[in-house]
Amino acid sequence: MNAQTPYKLKSYICGEWKAGTRDGVELLDAGTGAVVATIDASGLDMGEALDFGRRSGSALRAMTFHERAEMLKALAKALNEHKAEFHALSLATGATPRDGMVDIEGGLATLFSYSGMGRRELPNTRTLVEGDLLPLSKDGSFSAQHILTPLQGVAVHINAFNFPCWGMLEKLAPTLLAGVPAVIKPASQTAYLTELMVRRMIDSGILPDGALQLISGSVGDLLDHVTGQDVVTFTGSANTGRMLRVHPRIIAESTRFTMEADSLNASVLGPDAVAGTPEFDLFIKEIAREMTVKAGQKCTAIRRVMAPRAQVQSVIEALGAQLAKMGVGLPGDEGTRMGALASLAQRTEVRDRIRDLSVDAEIAIGDPDAVTVVSGDPDAGAFLNPVVMYCDNPSAAKAVHDVEAFGPVSTVMPYDDLDEAVALTHRGKGSLTASVFTNDPAVAEAAVIGMAPYHGRILLGNRVSAKTSTGHGAPLPNLVHGGPGRAGGGEEMGGVRGVKHFMQRTAVQGAPAMLSAVTGRWIDGAPTRDDTHPFRKSLADLRIGDQLVTEKRQITLADVEHFADFTGDTFYAHMNEEAAKANPFFDGRVAHGYLIVSFAAGLFVQPDPGPVLANYGVDNLRFLTPVYPGDTLGVRLTCKEINPRTNADHGEVRWDCQVTNQAGEVVAQYDVLTMVAKIWPD
Amino acid sequence: MNAQTPYKLKSYICGEWKAGTRDGVELLDAGTGAVVATIDASGLDMGEALDFGRRSGSALRAMTFHERAEMLKALAKALNEHKAEFHALSLATGATPRDGMVDIEGGLATLFSYSGMGRRELPNTRTLVEGDLLPLSKDGSFSAQHILTPLQGVAVHINAFNFPCWGMLEKLAPTLLAGVPAVIKPASQTAYLTELMVRRMIDSGILPDGALQLISGSVGDLLDHVTGQDVVTFTGSANTGRMLRVHPRIIAESTRFTMEADSLNASVLGPDAVAGTPEFDLFIKEIAREMTVKAGQKCTAIRRVMAPRAQVQSVIEALGAQLAKMGVGLPGDEGTRMGALASLAQRTEVRDRIRDLSVDAEIAIGDPDAVTVVSGDPDAGAFLNPVVMYCDNPSAAKAVHDVEAFGPVSTVMPYDDLDEAVALTHRGKGSLTASVFTNDPAVAEAAVIGMAPYHGRILLGNRVSAKTSTGHGAPLPNLVHGGPGRAGGGEEMGGVRGVKHFMQRTAVQGAPAMLSAVTGRWIDGAPTRDDTHPFRKSLADLRIGDQLVTEKRQITLADVEHFADFTGDTFYAHMNEEAAKANPFFDGRVAHGYLIVSFAAGLFVQPDPGPVLANYGVDNLRFLTPVYPGDTLGVRLTCKEINPRTNADHGEVRWDCQVTNQAGEVVAQYDVLTMVAKIWPD
């Protein structure tokens, strides 16, 4: 199959590739106008598809986070083998190879990234425990813990035409990692590329049946079948999003609905970044790049260019020079720097919006009606050269803050002081992203704090990050993507946050033994076992609640002085009775905190070679009661969490370590982190 | 003013108490039928009220989290002075003094609780930094940080009639702590009590102008004026909530909308908790309590009672005995154990719903049409005795899972195994809360994991927590309140999570100096200053980025052996060359982690009496590279965060501590936590 052979796209639902019952709509190559494929999903049973997905959820939920993360990695590797095929077909969408990288390699990178986060930041369990234990009683008999469990529905992802691969994968990765099956509904215009990638995923056999379904064509009555356990996400125009959001079934079931809409993203040139500074040059390059990557068809593209009034002329001139280098033509052609819009209809749409913008702004660079190409047929292909508008009085203007031309179009507008620039960014009524180019930290602070309530992401550009910046327009897997208001009010990705969007948060309250059973984490007051020293147990034997209560040890003044002498830590609170007494926290000389934890380790370690391999860290160490010379310490060490690694012979074990004094007061509380072998002797 | 003097409720908008232009609707005493007040908000300019609130936001945003937390505490203390007055008026709502405690004391406790969380869990800043720094480049020149800033709109809280005080305060506390002004719109039926409490808050003069507004009456066209920076929350019936959720302006602006609706909450008796066990008795008491507190008018009340089939008869008998003790009558009467419903209309509504339930269930206890009171007039007051229904085949039934009688009504239903009980809880299509009474941790685990995706909160009841449990029906400030699906899909409170609902999360990307300026937190690569030892600086002089680079110190084998001998930590990896080598992490004997941090402290402390008062803890300590005898260590200590306390002469200072070896490899990385005086010498 290739872009030259039209074929009928199929849907993959209920475990089968199915064609719609009608002939379908022709999808044309954006650069040549040739028919690439036809699309239709008529007659498919959408309710059945959702049910099939829901039933399959149990297979995903039976996997741990690490197993799901490994699955994502395998999927990314499998797709990686087919990159050439994807790139070849991607050209038909109007995307240059550089654009295709953002979509295809960017999508795979997102899969890899979520796989890594799953293994590093999530436990190797099925339930996610969130936050600390919350005591609800003085005696410890009643507490609470928040947990997250996978929703028992499906995630329906309704995607935009501009990123047929990344748009699918950035949502699929957190969905599958959460343990929730997905139904993908790509925008028709470029659905052939999504369909091809889904085929390769299904062919790989990596996913459980039903974990991934595809609808090539209209969703029909699908939304009539969603429930409160399903999630619907939408990426695309604000108008369509609003229509979906009020779907009676979504409202009746309180179905989670996440929207990510195009927005009037701004880029601000700092007052300090005058022509001739590195920041000025970075600003110009960034705008030109955002206008031309994907021919400006990005929901994060820079639509509003804000510069100090004195810099506006320089900005327009520099932009003109930069854009003049961007030859427009067939996406696969070597001389092409910018490809085609997705379709001729899209070009008409962009020209109409430029007319709307003309109420407030004049054209400073380019001519939307005169197409100049380096290759291809300017009438058959959806080509459009970049257009820069200029709006002289943006505070009084309306269209430039409301109307989005979804193509290579930006409007330059002057500002008189930074407050005005911040206020102008607000006029977009909520945006996905913004950028500020400045080398002045004070400008960065004022601009970001002022703009943040209206933005999901803000990029600060300066000379230091010139080479390493990922750019204004690039959403990243570990950063939130989405914005308030006009941008849809949604949040996607953002690392593990994105996984939680497909899970239900539940506060669980109860006695320690009960909470411990639910969370798989030992809690003070839950049952313990003290049969043998827990350092003698490999993961095969070790269980949460395994506990050691140590012998006692007295700390003498000689110990404190010796420790000070040995380590060099002669801080006055340990060495000077008078100064220590003057301190609001102490009644006299106190033992070093590091001495307490060192003696504690001396009390709890078991010295013989054994399954405990290393102490790799300590978390949340708090010194709660001063230790005075003469005090006697004891340690209670309890196995709190066990996290076997999927791909190693060991795993992480977290120990609750509590050091108490002769009065039973807790003097230090912390988690000791160790690596423990799965089997010993091995 | 008291419950016997009808008066016209006013709204507090734009800084003034204003009456509506019409006569208004009469609000009747629930127990006596006497007129308490009239309510009307006609003719008030709601758009202007929102604008006034928004303008006032800057005063709240200028305060730090700790200042706002102090404000909440002052507010709670001020209201505490007027408790008697609130309780007196509360009787008119049908609430007994015990019910009034839940509403009035419960509301004040929520204010106090958020005040405490604000001071303990939030920094003393205006911007909230969330999560770790996210490196986006190998050389550290480009990273990201998520921040949260207050929305620049207002929060409109539309509340239910059942908790006129708590319902307002549980939303107001996180709103104000976030730095966002609020507009309260109580349900009319009990608005007189909300109005009184708002009067006392306004009279206290504690809140900035415009931080709190009240609408007594209909919101009119208020929602036509909301924006994407505003938040609308709704607590009440699912039908009204759905209507508000699709308001064209809320949809057009993607205004955040949180809904908390009544739901068909279940309580499950575990298979182990047969008659005669403490859990059985706790279960019965809890159901009777939930049916009668607030006369069952609680969105968290137990509507569905699930018991093993063999226990059903015992459950009904025990419930009957327990409910027989609950005398129904005038709320202020000493013999009364259960008060009145909110209104006669509400009683009619409950009776209608009981008829709806009768399709699937029969009445086992009580008679909705025959009212027996211990005091009061059964016709003039909205009295209703508890009604227990029984549904023999709940898996086949529909109404018992769909129809909520918002009063003292619950339906008992049998289950045959725990899986069926879990499946039955799902039939409620999403609930605020559920409870499980069991003393078997395996039952607790299976039930909670099975039920969690459909619930916002699950309480486990057993003998251990019998005395300390806060109960099935009580939302708590530090736990999430809200549930999926039928329960509205929202989340309120949940500790600091609830504060974030009124803030915008923004990912900020840039070079270290820029991010550091925005977050107020030193980041590796941001500017540093090394003029004097930072331990010599009080908070008056200390700045983030103040840094000490220490001398070097070699760790010898003798040091390791001496430390082992001194502390008793003779773990094999430090003492046994062969065993250490066999370990997958080490090439031979290594230094103790605790020795590394002890020597590090010896290198970085400054011994003289000074402004650094104590090291109260260590966070996120990771040993990243093994340290072998002969290695030479150096420390870089940098002031990372400064958090002056509002009410003390000192504050917390967090230091970035990095220990490196002779090759420049980081061997340990951690945060050192200290208390530092504001002024030195003082």
Summarize pLDDT for B287-313 with one digit per residue, the tens: 999 999 999 999 999 999 999 999 999
Residue B646 has a pLDDT of 87
The string of DSSP letters for B464-529 reads: TTTTT---TT---TTSEE--SGGG-S--EESTHHHHHTTEEEEEEEE-HHHHHHHHSS--TTS--B
| A217 at B interface, C-beta within 8 A | no
Q: Do B464 and A608 touch (CB under 8 A)?
A: no
Residue of chain A with shortest Cα separation from B245: A251
A5 touches chain B (CB under 8 A): no
Structure token pair of residue B494: 């949940």
Using a CB–CB cutoff of 8 Å, tell me whether A4 touches chain B.
no
Q: Report, as residue numbers or ranges, the catalytic residues of A.
A: 260, 299
Distance CA A621, CA A671 (A): 7
Give the pair of three-digit tokens for residue B177. 């702590």
Place B1 in a pLDDT band, splitting at 50, 70 and 90: very low
pLDDT of residue B2: 47
**Searching chain A, which residue's CA lies closest to the CA of residue B440?**
A514
Q: Is there a contact between A139 and B253 if contact means CB atoms under 8 Å apart? A: no
Rounded distance, CA B448 to CA B460, Å? 9
Chain B within 8 Å of A351 (Cβ-Cβ)? no
| Cα(A602)–Cα(B628) distance, integer angstroms | 20
On the question of pLDDT at B3 being above 50, the answer is: no
In three-state secondary structure terms, A97 is: helix
Q: Residues of chain A whose pLDDT is less than 50?
A: 1-3
Rounded percentage of chain B residues whose pLDDT exceeds 70: 99
Please tell me the distance from the alpha carbon of residue B649 to that of residue B654, in angstroms, as a whole number. Answer: 17
3-state secondary structure of A423: helix
Nearest by CB to A511, from B144, B460, B607: name it. Answer: B460
Q: Residue B28 phi/psi, 5° resolution?
A: -100, 145
**SS3 for B615?**
strand
Closest chain A residue to B434, measured at CA = A508
Please judge whether A144 and B476 are an interchain contact, meaning their C-beta atoms are less than 8 angstroms apart: yes
User: Which strand (E) or helix (H) includes residue A173?
Assistant: helix A166-178
Verify whether the Cβ–Cβ distance B491 to A508 is below 8 Å: no
- Whether residue B375 contacts residue B329, with contact meaning beta carbons closer than 8 Å, is answered with yes
CB spacing of B621 vs A620 below 8 angstroms: no
pLDDT at residue number A647? 86
Q: A584 and B613: CB-CB below 8 Å? A: yes
Tell me if B465 and A510 make a contact (CB, 8 A cut-off).
yes
- The answer to whether residue A607 neighbours chain B at the CB level (below 8 Å) is yes
Cβ of A461 within 8 Å of Cβ of B510? The answer is yes
Residue B495 touches partner A, C-beta closer than 8 Å: yes
Residue B160 forms contact with A (CB below 8 Å): no
Best probe of the A interface among B245, B500, B508, by most A CBs < 10 A, is B508
CA angle B171, B338, B185 (to 5 degrees): 25
Residue with tokens 């506390």: B173
What is the pLDDT at residue A5?
57
Please give, rounded to a whole number of angstroms, the shortest distance from the CA of A355 to a CA of chain B: 23
Q: Which residues, in sequence order, are bridge partners of residue B475?
A: none
What's the token pair of residue B291? Answer: 């049916």
Cβ-nearest to A675 among B491, B509, B585: B585
User: By the 8 A CB rule, do A654 and A672 touch?
Assistant: yes
Please tell me the distance from the alpha carbon of residue B25 to that of residue B192, in angstroms, as a whole number: 12
B590 to chain A: closest CA residue: A614
Cα–Cα dist B162/B103, whole Å: 9
CA distances A29 to A2, A61, A604, B184, Å, are 11, 40, 70, 55
pLDDT, one tens digit per residue, over B500-532 is: 999 999 999 999 999 999 999 999 999 999 999
For residue A91, the 8-state DSSP code is G
Of A484, A488, A597, the CB nearest to B504: A484
What is the per-residue pLDDT across B86-123, written as a single tens digit (0 to 9) for each?
A: 999 999 999 999 999 999 999 999 999 999 999 999 99
Q: Is A274 on the interface with B (CB under 8 A)?
A: no
Which of the four pLDDT bands, split at 50, 70 and 90, describes residue B560?
A: very high
Predicted local distance difference test score (pLDDT) of residue B681: 84
**Is the CA virtual torsion A418, A419, A422, A424 positive or negative?**
negative
All residues of chain B having their beta carbon less than 8 Å from the beta carbon of residue A524 are none
The pLDDT value given to residue A111: 98
Query: What is the average pLDDT score of chain B?
Result: 96
Q: What residues are paired with A621 via a beta bridge?
A: B618
What is residue B647's predicted lDDT score, i.e. its pLDDT?
86
Kindly state whether B510 is in contact with chain A, defined as any CB-CB distance less than 8 angstroms.
Answer: yes
Residues B476-497 have a mean pLDDT of: 96
Work out the burial of residue A645: count CB atoms within 10 Å of its CB; fewer than 13 is exposed, 13-18 middle, 19 or more buried.
middle
Tokens of A660: 């108490």
Q: How many residues does chain A have?
A: 682
Q: Angle CA(A573)–CA(A574)–CA(A580) in degrees, nearest 5?
A: 30
Say if CB A422 and CB A305 are below 8 A apart: no
Contact B303, B265 (CB under 8 A): yes
Beta bridge partners of residue B554, listed in sequence order:
B632
Confidence of residue B5 (pLDDT cuts 50, 70, 90): low
Are A618 and B615 within 8 A, CB to CB? no
Residue B16: burial class (beta carbons within 10 Å; 0-12, 13-18, 19+): exposed
Alpha carbon of A237: minimum distance to chain B alpha carbons (Å)? 12
Query: Do the Cβ atoms of A615 and B603 come within 8 Å?
Result: no
Q: Give the nearest chain B residue to A255 (CA atoms).
A: B485
Helix extents (H) in B149-190: 166-178
Chain A within 8 Å of B664 (Cβ-Cβ)?
A: no
Tell me if residue B299 is catalytic: yes
Report yes or no: A412 and A390 within 8 Å, Cβ to Cβ: yes
CA distance A550 to A548: 6
Query: Are A567 and B458 in contact (CB < 8 Å)?
Result: no
ipTM: 0.96
∠B459-B465-B470 over CA atoms, to 5°?
55
pLDDT band at B262 (very low <50, low <70, confident <90, very high): confident
Whole-number Å distance between alpha carbons of B650 and B611? 9
Chain A positions touching B134 (Cβ under 8 A) are 478-479, 495
For residues B501 and A625, what is the distance between their CA atoms, to the nearest angstrom? 36
Chain B 412-451, CB below 8 Å of chain A: which residues? Answer: 426, 429-430, 438, 441-442, 444-445, 448-449
In sequence order, the 6+-apart residues with CB closer than 8 A to the CB of A108 are A76, A79, A80, A83, A169
- CB contact at 8 A, A566 and B562: yes
Query: From the CB of residue A284, how many other CB atoms can be counted at a distance below 10 Å?
Result: 24
Q: At what angle do helices B166-178 and B65-80 cross, to 10 degrees?
A: 160
Give yes or no for A602 touching B (CB within 8 A). Answer: yes
Cβ atoms of B447 and B459 closer than 8 Å:
no
**At a CB cut-off of 8 Å and minimum separation 6, what does B133 contact?**
B143, B144, B145, B515, B523
**Going edge to edge, which strands form the sheet with B155-158?**
B16-18, B11-13, B212-214, B182-185, B155-158, B231-236, B256-261
Interface test with A, best of B571, B620, B647 (most A CBs within 10 A): B571
Q: How far apart are CA A661 and CA A665, in angstroms?
A: 6
Q: Is B464 touching A (CB cutoff 8 A)?
A: yes
| CB spacing of B576 vs A609 below 8 angstroms | yes
Q: Which residues on A lie below 8 Å from B149 (Cβ)?
A: 449, 452-453
Does the CB of A55 have a partner CB in chain B at under 8 Å?
A: no
